[in-house]
């Protein structure tokens, strides 16, 4: 861990060099309430189907494009967009082992590196600690894709351990927790998508494309029984991203639909969506959910009362890996 001059956070040592990289001009505007931010890397590497020029696209609440931020210091997909309490947008590039931050005024801050790990998301805890989720576990590369993850330092093939990593606000490691993971279709997927319970005592999470919706007791450091679990190979039970509504309902992307469940795993309803590939979601606004399709490259605004798609925008195929709506509380 390298500590740099950036409010005590552990600065990624490559971030200083990355600031001098040539990038297209960015047009990101200061965040406005309701804005939707989407991690959508411009894939331009014929040898790696997940690599390219990192970017975050900004939409208003009706999915009209407002601007684009071309990122420095990333190499692949931009995962796990989430807002810190101060309104800063955080995101992860699990291939580059780097954490991206964007200030509310639209400026990219120095990237951070908390460890040489493929983190998928950070959760901001009430005690000001940071809980990072690890995307990879084991040694299986994602066949038949052409992308390849880096082995951990000192290892030839080991990609990660699928742990939960908790840090102080200034980047000191407090603890590591070991949740169960499924592996997904590739066999190496760990905690790929996650959301905290309202009281932050539990973490709800999935291993992307796997049949299990899992939960971990953060207060006592122990695995809890699955909220639900499907049969291996059942395409209708492939879990992707998940979000929590203001009234505490879990909304889970299932490829061709969004399922709504209680925090006890009781199914309430489903929203059918056209085609397959719906894999990222943010439903924190309460009245609508913003959902993105990996295969088609479309992002939509879903009315949670009527179940109708009320706005849509086309981004690009196979590049969207994170979405978050700006909902300031101050």
Taking Cα atoms as reference points, which of 86, 32, 92, 25 lies closest to residue 59? 32
CB 291 within 8 A of CB 241: no
**Beta strands per DSSP E along 207-266:** 212-217, 222-229, 242-244, 250-253, 257-261
Degrees (nearest 5) of the Cα angle 123, 126, 131? 30
Structural domains of the chain sorted by starting position, each given as residue range(s) with its CATH number in brackets:
15-325 (2.120.10.30)
Task: Kindly state the percentage of the chain with pLDDT values over 90.
Answer: 90
CB 3 within 8 A of CB 171: yes
pLDDT tens profile 58-72: 999 999 999 999 999
What's the rounded Cα separation, in Å, for the pair 203 and 171? 21
Q: Is the pLDDT of residue 18 over 70?
A: no
The sign of the torsion formed by the CA atoms of 122, 123, 129, 133 equals negative
What's the rounded Cα separation, in Å, for the pair 279 and 289? 12
What's the rounded Cα separation, in Å, for the pair 121 and 99? 9
235 DSSP assignment: G
Answer left, alpha or beta for residue 312, where phi above 0 means left and psi between -120 and 50 means alpha.
Answer: beta
pLDDT value at residue 1:
45
Q: How confident is the model at residue 11 (pLDDT cuts 50, 70, 90)?
A: confident
pLDDT tens profile 212-243: 999 999 999 999 999 999 999 899 999 999 99
pLDDT tens profile 161-192: 999 999 998 899 999 999 999 999 999 999 99
List Cα–Cα distances, 154 to 113, 147, 201, 238, in angstroms. Answer: 18, 21, 34, 33
β-bridge pairing 52-53 and 242-244: unpaired
pLDDT value at residue 10:
85
pLDDT value at residue 3:
38
Strand partners, 90: 82, 101
Q: How confident is the model at residue 86 (pLDDT cuts 50, 70, 90)?
A: very high
pLDDT value at residue 22:
65
SS3 state of residue 56:
strand
- In the predicted model, what is the mean pLDDT of the chain? 94
pLDDT value at residue 12:
79
SS3 state of residue 117:
coil
pLDDT value at residue 17:
45
pLDDT tens profile 126-151: 999 999 999 999 999 987 899 999 99
Task: Kindly state the percentage of the chain with pLDDT values over 70.
Answer: 95
What's the rounded Cα separation, in Å, for the pair 186 and 174? 30
């Amino acid at each position: 861990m390298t500590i740099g001059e950036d409010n005590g956070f552990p600065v990624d040592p490559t971030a200083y060099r990355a600031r001098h990289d040539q990038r297209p001009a960015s047009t990101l505007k200061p965040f406005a309430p309701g804005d939707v931010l989407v991690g959508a890397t411009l894939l331009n590497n014929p040898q790696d189907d997940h690599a390219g020029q990192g970017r975050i696209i900004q939409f208003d609440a009706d999915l009209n494009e407002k601007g684009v931020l071309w990122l420095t210091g990333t190499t692949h997909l931009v995962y796990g967009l989430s807002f810190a309490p101060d309104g800063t947008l955080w995101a992860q590039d699990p291939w580059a082992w780097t954490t991206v931050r964007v200030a509310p005024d639209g400026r990219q801050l120095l990237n951070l590196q908390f460890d040489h790990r493929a983190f998928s998301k950070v959760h901001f805890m009430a005690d000001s600690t940071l809980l990072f989720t690890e995307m990879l576990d084991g040694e299986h590369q994602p066949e038949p894709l052409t992308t390849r993850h880096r082995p951990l330092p000192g290892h030839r093939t080991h990609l990660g351990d699928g742990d939960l990593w908790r840090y102080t606000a200034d980047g000191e490691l407090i603890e590591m927790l070991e949740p169960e993971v499924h592996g997904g279709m590739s066999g190496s997927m760990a905690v790929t998508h996650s959301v905290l319970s309202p009281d932050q005592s539990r973490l709800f999470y999935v291993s992307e494309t796997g049949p299990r919706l899992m939960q971990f007791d953060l207060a006592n450091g122990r695995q809890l029984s699955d909220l639900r679990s499907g049969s291996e190979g059942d395409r209708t039970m492939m879990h992707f991203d998940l979000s929590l509504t203001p009234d505490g309902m879990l909304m889970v992307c299932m490829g061709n639909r969004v399922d709504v469940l209680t925090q006890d795993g009781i199914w309430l309803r489903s929203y059918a969506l056209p085609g397959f590939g719906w894999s990222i979601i943010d439903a924190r606004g309460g009245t609508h959910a913003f959902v993105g399709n990996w295969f088609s490259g479309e992002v939509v605004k879903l009315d949670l009362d009527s179940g109708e798609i009320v706005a849509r925008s086309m981004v690009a195929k196979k590049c969207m890996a994170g979405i978050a709506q700006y909902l300031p509380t101050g």
